[in-house]
Amino acid sequence: MDRLERLLVLAGQYDVVVYISKLRGDLLACWIPSMRRIFLEVRLTDDEQCYHLAHELGHVHLEHPCARTPSTPAELDRERQADRFAARVLIEAPTYARLEAVNSDQHYLADELGVPVKLLRVYEEDLLTKVRGVTYAQPREGVGQWAHRQMDSGAEEVMRQRLGVA
């Protein structure tokens, strides 16, 4: 099952219907709570559809009201919250860690993950913690909650030296 199919299943779990159609003006996506519908612009690429659908599902999950053009601090905060939700849904910590070990450039990572750079920034700023060269995804509950950590090669070498491991 690809990303878009997984997102559509998630929408169904929220009892939300998703429509892909021509939207007015510069609107790319919108959530209409009273209709329990999300509309996506037909001209979006697959990656853009996934991002906008995940973002709108964030509004659904967080029970946000609809705001055409966010402008107040509260509306802008809701947009950031929806992006946080989208980042959790679209970016898998092990994949991020594997790619970051190859190249930590945000544009490279965003391209490889199929997300906008702005969403990658939200992921890195809000959902990751870096401590002495080790990247941690936000903790998950239960066993293996720190299993997503990835150590960069320099920090790994220092740790090996401290532990006396070759």
What are 41-64's pLDDT values in tens digits?
999 999 999 999 999 999 999 998
List, for residues 99-150, the tens digit of each pLDDT value.
988 998 999 999 999 999 999 999 999 888 766 666 666 555 444 554 555 5
Domain boundary among 32, 66, 100: 66
Asked if residue 86 is part of any domain, the answer here is no
On whether residue 124 sits in a domain, the answer given is: yes
- Is position 72 within any domain? no
Instruction: Looking at the structure, tell me whether residues 98 and 49 fall in a common domain.
Output: no
Domain contains 109? yes
For the chain, the average pLDDT equals: 85
Identify whether 122 is part of a domain: yes
Element (H, E) at 37: strand 37-41
Nearest to 112 by CA among 129, 97, 134: 97
User: Does any domain span residue 13?
Assistant: yes
135 with 100, same domain? yes
Residue 85 placed within a domain: no
Q: Can you give the residue range of the structural domain that contains 21?
A: 3-66
Here the tokens at position 129 are 């913690």
